Structure 1
Amino acid sequence: MKQNKALQVLFDNRVVGTLALAANHKVVFQYDDSWLEQGFSISPFSLPLENQVFVPTKDYFDGLFGVFADSLPDHWGRLLLKRLLLAHEQNPDKLTVIDRLAIVGKSGMGALTYYPEQSFSEENDNTDLDELAFQCQKILHTEYSDKLDELYRLGGTSGGARPKIMTTINDEDWIIKFSAHVDGENAGKMEYDYSCCARKCGITMSETKLFPSEVCEGYFGIKRFDRISDISGTKRVHMLTAAALLELDFEQPSLDYHSLMKLTKIITRDNKDDVENMFRRMCFNVFAHNRDDHSKNFTYLYDESADSWRLSPAYDLTYSNTYYGEHTTTVDGNGRNPGKKELLAVGTMAGIKKELCMDIITEIKSCVNEMLGMYLNR
């Protein structure tokens, strides 16, 4: 595999700028002149729209700025790539972070793409979900799967730890998840129930569906919010996780909901609906025991036509623990057992009226207990 030392970053076939691997293993970035004239800041805090060479100051993302690290796959995608490279008799340890972005190419989440692109496999349209789930389990438990190329094409650039594919169904873009070895076989049904409850709690959600299976209760699917369709076809949407915006290590507890609320107010220009929705998500995560609420599980979407950022629909909502027994994002400093007191402190500090905070807390606690009690009381 040919190694790259520089890549072009593109948005909607327009050159945004250039990434280059520096001698200190940092990946520097510079905007293209044309983008400086007509573009926007792709990461408002770290990469303002200025004519300079930007050098990362954090080491959390293998020398990248967070906005580009968001394009890279997480645990499942990295595992697929490792197995695929070994199957092609290549050493995955020799890949630079630039090489990994070249492999992502046009297939990543969000709107940014990378050129020149490095690809592996031809397309295959197998949509047998039970077969794909079986192949995922083979990869998790062994070094072998005879569907490696197909699985990588379908899910190798996705985020998150659980096996998943990104696919098109009836001209709509979906993400479909399978169970990991630490999940129960019916994790899909649980996440679907959580999504229905979150929607009833007033949390903005993409369309979700439980795809049928012959071996379990079903596979959880969620319609992608980084793709929108109009009369001209499918358009990619630029997105940034809170981890990328704040240049945070999402694998370590490094965030409080006070900071998330403040970030939402700043990035959305104090959009009241988004601020309230973030408050609702915090309440839901506390009452529904979703403790894997790290900084990559909160995302903001850019609307180029309005030159504005909005909070994305919620995702990765399910019953979850952490190895240290606390929420990854603390609530007014409390990660172990936050309750009404801490929730109220975060909401009122963000400018939400106390009476509204109390109403939302009561509403969500009641809804969660009613709809998710079978998971919380087991």
Structure 2
Amino acid sequence: MEVVTCGRFQQQGEVGRFVYGRSYLANPRAVELEKFELPLRPGTFETARLGGIFGSLRDASPDAWGRRVIERQLERVALSEVDFLLNSPEDRAGALSFGTSPTPPAPVHRFNKVLRLDLLLEEARRVEQELPLSGVQVSDLVNPGSSMGGARPKNVVEDEEGLWVAKFPARGDRWNNAAVEGGMLRLARECGLKAAVSKRTHVAGQDVLLVRRFDRQRVDGGYHRHRMVSALTVLRADEHPQDRSKWSYILLADELKRWVGDPDEDLRELFSRMVFNALISNVDDHPRNHALIAAGTAWNLSPAYDLTPSPQASLERHLAMEVGSAQHRRATRLNLLSECGRFRLSKEAANHLIDTMKATVTARWRGAIKDCGGTDADVTAVERAFDSEGFEYTHYSV
């Protein structure tokens, strides 16, 4: 496992510039940071998008929880993106490292152990509630692999199987998140999706969900790090509401044809995930919750992650990303089918896929949650996320 310096990034005002190092370009194992915005070639790349931060660099920044802990650690707010990159842990999501010296940082060899989850859980609770820390270093609480996640308290832990993102209970949870999210990952696999591996553990009277990191491969002496970019980067989009026109499964399908090694396989997988999110009312399916990963030179769709049902009072469901041309973000069969050709699926094949997945979700969502430790109360709490009558509606009043 070798860490090498690949280039230099500079930000001046709202403009960012990146250049690959000559020694890196001469390395026969060199790979690009992202396929089109930062292709592997000499010269200076410049961007004014995202406040001057290239998408692949932004993807290495900590998520909302990590930012919160860094702000507490530094006792500062209003930090810049570069501040977050330089002050987040070395073992962040993906393969990038950051520093102010041309000498690359050393690989990380030590990780929090699963046996320490009780201490990490307590310190996460104190950070969340803005209480004084009890002695554990606050830097230990910054989650290295959380840049594709959200605001939920979490940390990265290691056991004999490898590295896991530990997702802790959060204030305001209305159900056992470890059981429900774990159940959805299991249900996704039962529906034929490539979903992240997870397991539930019980710590200090609470359930914690462990999700295996798929951007790491265990090897003798450590881990190989895989490159990773979010769909936000692939779509050249921003998180601001005014940029939501680019939040689209259809546009992402078009980009996959340019990015991945086997478009047919990944397009079918993406369509299936879109259907699954519609069937479980996962309305948090924004582009940060989709990613591409490169274990070697080729990019592919990463395993699915952050699959969470959202109970809805209305029969009408809207996903975070556009799913079709018929009704934009509405989660209906009609809309899902409206652009199935962009996923290289015939109407017949797409309908069959929807029928099969819908039958599995209806038959198994309760059991999947209970198989992961959920109770009858947890099932009741989320039941309005499933089997929506609106899924089969073919028209809506405006």
- TM superposition score category, shorter chain reference: 0.7 to 0.9
Give the match for residue 18 of structure 1.
8
Residue 117 of structure 2 is aligned to residue 129 of structure 1:
yes
Residue 343 of structure 2 is aligned to residue 353 of structure 1:
no
What is the CA–CA distance in structure 1 between the aligned matches of 2:41 and 2:73, rounded to whole Å? 39
SS of equivalent residue, structure 2 residue 288? coil
Code of the residue aligned with 2:349 in structure 1: it is: L
Code of the residue aligned with 2:364 in structure 1: it is: M
Give 1:136 deviation, angstroms: 2.1
Give 1:246 deviation, angstroms: 2.6
Give the match for residue 128 of structure 2.
140
- Once the two structures are overlaid, the 10-residue window that deviates more, 137-146 or 355-364, is 137-146
Q: Taking structure 1 as the reference length, what is the TM-score of the superposition? A: 0.85
Change (3 A) 1:157 1:308: closer
Code of the residue aligned with 1:220 in structure 2: it is: L
Code of the residue aligned with 1:45 in structure 2: it is: F
SS of equivalent residue, structure 1 residue 287? helix
Deviation string 1:331-370 (CA, Å, 9 cap, x unpaired) is 1153553211111123223211222211110111111122
Residue 331 of structure 2 is aligned to residue 331 of structure 1:
no
What is the CA–CA distance in structure 2 between the aligned matches of 1:79 and 1:150, rounded to whole Å? 11
Change (3 A) 1:149 1:349: same
Residue 4 of structure 2 is aligned to residue 41 of structure 1:
no
SS of equivalent residue, structure 1 residue 112? coil
Contact 2:321 2:329 in 1 (8 A): no
Code of the residue aligned with 2:158 in structure 1: it is: T
What is the CA–CA distance in structure 1 between the aligned matches of 2:129 and 2:91, rounded to whole Å? 26
Which of 277, 287, 298 aligns to 2:269? It is: 277
Give 1:141 deviation, angstroms: 2.3
What is the CA–CA distance in structure 2 between the aligned matches of 1:331 and 1:71, rounded to whole Å? 27
What is the CA–CA distance in structure 2 between the aligned matches of 1:325 and 1:149, rounded to whole Å? 43
Which of 66, 90, 101 aligns to 1:106? It is: 90
Contact 1:74 1:161 in 2 (8 A): yes
What is the CA–CA distance in structure 2 between the aligned matches of 1:267 and 1:336, rounded to whole Å? 24
Contact 1:66 1:244 in 2 (8 A): yes
Code of the residue aligned with 1:42 in structure 2: it is: L
Q: Taking structure 2 as the reference length, what is the TM-score of the superposition? A: 0.81
Task: Name the Cα RMSD after superposition.
Answer: 2.8
Give 1:151 deviation, angstroms: 6.0
What is the CA–CA distance in structure 1 between the aligned matches of 2:128 and 2:89, rounded to whole Å? 25
What is the CA–CA distance in structure 1 between the aligned matches of 2:195 and 2:163, rounded to whole Å? 15
Change (3 A) 1:182 1:335: farther
What is the CA–CA distance in structure 1 between the aligned matches of 2:352 and 2:19, rounded to whole Å? 48
Which of 359, 363, 368 aligns to 1:366? It is: 359
Give 1:41 deviation, angstroms: 2.0
Residue 182 of structure 2 is aligned to residue 192 of structure 1:
yes
Change (3 A) 1:337 1:99: closer
Which of 61, 67, 86 aligns to 1:72? It is: 61
Give 1:40 deviation, angstroms: 2.4
Code of the residue aligned with 1:207 in structure 2: it is: V
- Once the two structures are overlaid, the 10-residue window that deviates more, 274-283 or 38-47, is 38-47
Change (3 A) 1:185 1:146: farther
Change (3 A) 1:319 1:147: farther
Deviation string 1:33-58 (CA, Å, 9 cap, x unpaired) is 12223322211121122322212121
Give the match for residue 20 of structure 2.
31
Change (3 A) 1:336 1:321: farther
Contact 1:12 1:111 in 2 (8 A): no
What is the CA–CA distance in structure 1 between the aligned matches of 2:188 and 2:83, rounded to whole Å? 38
SS of equivalent residue, structure 1 residue 127? helix
Code of the residue aligned with 1:137 in structure 2: it is: R
Give the match for residue 282 of structure 2.
290
SS of equivalent residue, structure 1 residue 221? strand
Contact 2:234 2:252 in 1 (8 A): no
Question: What aligned pairs does 1:178-327 form with structure 2 within 5 A after superposition?
Answer: 178-216=168-206, 218-231=207-220, 233-250=222-239, 252=241, 253=244, 254-304=246-296, 307-320=297-310, 326-327=318-319
- Once the two structures are overlaid, the 10-residue window that deviates more, 74-83 or 332-341, is 332-341
Code of the residue aligned with 2:88 in structure 1: it is: V
What is the CA–CA distance in structure 1 between the aligned matches of 2:221 and 2:114, rounded to whole Å? 27
Give the match for residue 137 of structure 2.
149
Contact 1:56 1:64 in 2 (8 A): yes
What is the CA–CA distance in structure 2 between the aligned matches of 1:321 and 1:251, rounded to whole Å? 25
Code of the residue aligned with 2:193 in structure 1: it is: I
Contact 2:121 2:168 in 1 (8 A): yes
SS of equivalent residue, structure 1 residue 15? coil
Seq. identity, %: 26
SS of equivalent residue, structure 2 residue 350? helix
What is the CA–CA distance in structure 2 between the aligned matches of 1:104 and 1:353, rounded to whole Å? 45
Question: What aligned pairs does 1:83-102 form with structure 2 within 5 A after superposition?
Answer: 83-86=72-75, 91-93=76-78, 95-102=79-86
Contact 2:66 2:142 in 1 (8 A): no
Residue ranges of structure 2 left out of the alignment (5+ in a row)? 367-378, 386-398
Give 1:123 deviation, angstroms: 7.5
Deviation string 1:142-168 (CA, Å, 9 cap, x unpaired) is 253335625644526623221111111
What is the CA–CA distance in structure 2 between the aligned matches of 1:251 and 1:367, rounded to whole Å? 35
Contact 1:45 1:245 in 2 (8 A): no
